[in-house]
Each structure stands twice: as structure tokens, then as C-alpha cells.
Amino acid sequence: MWNSVELLQNNFLELELYCIETKQMNQKERYNKVLDYFKTNQPVAETELKYANAYELLVAVILSAQCTDKRVNIITPALFKRFPNVKTLSLAGFDEVFPLIKSCSYPNNKTKHLIGMANFVCSEYSGNIPGDLQELQKIPGVGRKTANVIAAVIFSKPAMAVDTHVFRVSARLGLTIRAKTPYEAEMQLIKHIPEKLIPIAHHWLILHGRYTCKARKPDCPGCGLKEFCKFYEQLSASEKIN
């Protein structure tokens, strides 16, 4: 026979399980709606960095840290003309590279990273940019975000690079829940996004954050995702209360 305490505990567990299942279903539905929206309204999405090969994209992504893609695209033509491949860059000196990238943020560090990257790739990978995520992260100046970009864009691997735009947009939409770091956000996103869509989903979220879901003034009225956006739900509820 069940006593009253056991019945109460059993009912509580059932309710807790129901809430968890409901929460998962709602999140799954939210992912489906967000992805369906992008597939319909933005079937083509790609990086705004200009590049011709893996070497050029890697250089551009290293330069893009805390710098706009627009600025990087202004810098790279002269840089690539002077150093058209990883071998030529590996032979460059600091004073040769620095003047060409000095208009970007942190040019001193980035000059060192670029030369270090080129030397490492030449010595360890025979001048070829590797496609493996772990190998990429061994390269000077290449962190997880940069490695994910190269893996996804050049090698079409299911890698999700989480920058400030992706981190902000995924949290606002409700795709990530209480993610405190880019890595936590990445793990949540790749868990729920179909593998074949991960490379383009990275661009969807970046571009949405860059032009619509801006950090300070998100364009909620003009956003096609507001119908299933967690941030907009909370914003609307707050306005009704006030």
C-alpha cells in the first residue's frame, strides 16, 4: 500500500518529468520554427569575409577578432598581394606585415599571430591548412571559434563557431538556455541543429545578429522571428504589465 508521503513523492516526480518533457518539446518546436524560417527566407548565407582559399580565409578570420568584416576586407587585398600564400607569409618579418594591417584592432598581436601561423603551418603541415578541429587549434592565433569557422566554411564540417552575435542571438531566441560561455552555447546548438544545417546555421545567426538582432537596439518590430522568440515574448509580457 502507498502511504500519503509516497503518493505525494510519486506525483511530484511525475509532474517534474512532465515539465521536463514539455520543456524539451517546446525547445524542439522553437528550433524547428527558427530553422524553417531561415531555410525559407535566407536559403543562401555565407561569410562576408572575402577570400579565395583556406589560407586567405584563415588570415581574414584571425584579423576579424574584435574587428569588423568590412575593415578586414579593406585590409586583405594589399596583404594578399604582398603575401599570396602561406609560404611567402612565413618568410615575412614583423615590419613587413604590420604596416599592411595596422588599421585593424590589435595589429601588434595579430602581426605576430599571422607570422606564427604561417611558420607553424609550413613546418607542421607542409604549408597546407588542416581540416581537423584539434589540429587547427594548435596553430598560433587560432582558437576554437576560428577553428570552427575554417572547419565549417572550407571543409563543410558540422562545426558551430560561436562569436558575440551567435551567442547573443541564440540566447535571445531561446535556442540556448543559461549558456555562460561560447563553448556551452556551441554544445547546446549542435545538439539540436541537424548536422547538415550546422555550417549554414552559423551564418544565419551571425547575419541576423549583425543586421536585425543588434546588441543595443534589436529591430524586434521588423524581425520575422519574433513570433517564436523568447526575448520578444518576455518583452511583450513586460510591456503588457507596465
Q: What is the pLDDT of residue 26?
A: 83
Nearest Cα neighbor of 111 from 123, 94, 92 is: 94
Q: What is the CATH number of the domain that holds 79?
A: 1.10.340.30
Q: Provide the number of structural domains found in the chain.
A: 2
User: Which pLDDT tens digit goes with each residue over 43-99?
Assistant: 999 999 999 999 999 999 999 999 999 999 999 999 999 999 999 999 999 999 999
Assigned domain for 114 exists: yes
Q: Are residues 58 and 149 in the same domain?
A: yes
Write the single-letter amino acid at 113.
Answer: H
Q: Give me the residue label for grid cell 574587428.
A: 67
Q: Give me the residue label for grid cell 578541429.
A: 133
Q: What is the pLDDT of residue 27?
A: 86
Domain that holds residue 178: 164-241
What contacts 91, CB < 8 A, 6 or more positions away?
none
Report the catalytic residues.
Answer: 145, 163
Cα 59 versus chain centre, distance: 17
Q: Grid coordinates standing for 42?
A: 535566407
CA pair distance 175, 27, nearest whole angstrom: 7
Assigned domain for 21 exists: no
CA pair distance 83, 74, nearest whole angstrom: 15
The whole-number mean pLDDT for each consecutive block of 10 residues of the chain, a chain of 242 residues, reads 43 44 66 96 96 98 94 98 98 98 96 98 97 96 96 96 96 96 97 96 97 94 93 79 50
**pTM, full prediction:** 0.84
CA pair distance 184, 121, nearest whole angstrom: 29
Nearest Cα neighbor of 190 from 135, 152, 140 is: 152
Assigned domain for 6 exists: no
Q: Are residues 197 and 132 in the same domain?
A: no
- In this prediction, what percent of the chain has a pLDDT beyond 70? 88
Q: What is the CATH number of the domain that holds 207?
A: 1.10.1670.10
Q: Grid coordinates standing for 20?
A: 521536463
- Which of 153, 180, 196 terminates a domain? The answer is 153
Q: What is the pLDDT of residue 217?
A: 92
Q: What is the pLDDT of residue 148?
A: 97
